[in-house]
Amino acid sequence: MSQSKSGPPPIVYILVFALISVGVYWVFARVPDDQSDNPSIPSETTPSNNLSPSTASPSSATPGRFTVPESLPSGSGLDLQGSTAMVSINSALKQGFEESFSGVTVTTSATGSGDGINAVLAGNADLGASSRPLTAEEQAQSLVAVPVAQDAIALVVGVNNPFGQGLSQQEAVAIFRGELTNWSEIGGPDKHIRVLNRPPVSGTHQTFRELVLNGGDFGNTPNITTLDRDATTPMLRALGDDGIGYATAAQIFNQSTVRPVAIDGLTPIAEQYPYRRTLYYVYQDPANEMVQAFLGYAFSDAGQAAIAQAGQK
């Protein structure tokens, strides 16, 4: 004789399946809508020049907050001062910005990151170009830094320097601290190493201390000369066949009289090159109309293309 089967009636299984289907739909169809309304989830995208979020200071603004206006009053101007490392970027953006807004002018000058930041603080510049992050003291004065691009600091010698090898990071530190003073100590000729150092006002000087000297000081030995002015071209001309200096990599790639020194076997174009840094624009918060417009252009497709092109010059 057959026995009757036990268990819930079929309608129970049908109801369970329906509830599961509704739950799956809610998870996959509703969550994205909820996220788009949540202000804590950023909607901006990272600029196309591969900025590293880890290098942005707490005072850094999100590039995506700036937009390009439809127009600007004719006769408007923007004063941009600061880093010598950003001359090419500043020039490329100036040209594109002025072409986009008839009657608008951008004035640029390059005397060092520190000078540019101080000019913004004093109200003598709208925007500062800086190859270093802001200090805590500068942040406390309502300055905001916007990451613009990444570059590399190159150690550089003259093309007639007989030292043809690369350096280790330890050897680079020893040279700029004055602990290695003769090329023969690292496989070169028996000749003194003449070190050309940039002035403290230079953002490249400050970043070099952090990236290369691990936060330490430059040496105070007779073979180390600190330049009076933060200018790359005079430094490159003075290298001769026994000097070594440093500059933003983009400024030396097309130079016929100098060459970069490899570090741990890597040149500045290598992705794993150790001396990379972020470049910034600095403004006084709140940003004025011209600053907002210029930064909006800098992070537009046209501005990003101009920055990329500047890095190839």
Position 47 scores a pLDDT of: 33
Q: Model pTM greater than 0.85?
A: no
Position 233 scores a pLDDT of: 92
Half-sphere exposure (Cβ direction) of 3: Cα atoms closer than 13 Å: 3
| CATH T-level topology, domain 152-276 | D-Maltodextrin-Binding Protein; domain 2 (3.40.190)
Q: What number of other Cβ atoms are within 10 A of residue 101's Cβ? A: 22
Into which CATH architecture does domain 53-150+277-310 fall? 3-Layer(aba) Sandwich (3.40)
120-170 per-position pLDDT tens digit: 999 999 999 999 999 999 999 999 999 999 999 999 999 999 999 999 999
Q: Is residue 17 over pLDDT 60? A: no
Q: Which residue has the higher pLDDT, 33 or 107?
A: 107
Diameter of the chain measured on Cα atoms: 111
Beta bridge partners of 195: 224, 244
Q: Which residue has the higher pLDDT, 17 or 102?
A: 102
Position 12 scores a pLDDT of: 39
Give the mean pLDDT of 220-226: 96
Give span(s): CATH 3.40.190.10, the chain: 53-150+277-310, 152-276
∠ CA 113-50-259, rounded to 5°: 60
Query: Where does the chain have alpha helices with state H?
Result: 10-36, 87-100, 113-121, 136-139, 169-176, 203-211, 232-237, 289-298, 301-310
Position 65 scores a pLDDT of: 81
Cα 45 to Cα 52: distance, rounded to the nearest angstrom: 12
Residue 197's H or E segment, with its range, is strand 194-197
Beta bridge partners of 182: 192
- Would you give the DSSP letter of residue 300? S
Q: What number of other Cβ atoms are within 10 A of residue 45's Cβ? A: 9
Q: What number of other Cβ atoms are within 10 A of residue 311's Cβ? A: 18
Residue 123 structure tokens: 């109200």
